[in-house]
Amino acid sequence: MPKIAVTTADAPAPVASYSQAVRKGNILQVAGQGPTDPATGEFAGETVAEQTRQTLLNIQAILRAAGADFDDVMMMRVYLADVAHFAAMNEVYSTFVSAPFPARTTVYVGLPAGMLVEIDALAVLED
């Protein structure tokens, strides 16, 4: 069973040696996405709400390129620069997912300057 890279111009291009997503069989792993607007190459906004929205739009674009959507996502990992950003992130996050919600882990980490959030996703697709 081959491993297939998934790419789209509707999400930021990788800046190192990784794929936007990789599919093997019916498993799709979306790489950690940040708030970069693919049209401008700049972070979308200065608030965690603005950045979370763009991050999830980037994930959505990659999922769509693989023939998937958020209903196929089983697990999301959210990386926040500040514990105080959880409520604002969660409010935006909740507009992209619906019940039954994906499992989720949220951790607080150091991110590049100006970047407040990074999110990755694991999806299981139809055969």
**Predicted structure pTM score:** 0.97
The tens digit of pLDDT for each residue in 72-103 reads 999 999 999 999 999 999 999 999 999 999 99
Distance, in Å, from the CA atom of 78 to the CA atom of 27, rounded to the nearest integer, reads 19
Report whether 28 contacts 124 (CB < 8 A). Answer: yes
DSSP string, 7-61: --TTSPPPSSS--SEEEETTEEEEEEE-SB-TTTSSBS-SSHHHHHHHHHHHHHH
Closest CA to 72 of 6, 18, 1: 6
- Tell me: cis bond preceding 112? Omega within 30 of 0 counts: no
pLDDT average, residue stretch 22-38: 97
Task: Supply the pLDDT for residue 24.
Answer: 97
- Render pLDDT for 43-81 as a digit per residue (tens, 0 to 9): 999 999 999 999 999 999 999 999 999 999 999 999 999
How high is the pLDDT of residue 88? Answer: 98
Spell out the domain ranges in the chain. 3-124
- Give the CATH fold of the 3-124 domain: 60s Ribosomal Protein L30; Chain: A; (3.30.1330)
| pLDDT given for residue 101 in this prediction | 97
pLDDT at 126: 87
Residues in the chain: 127
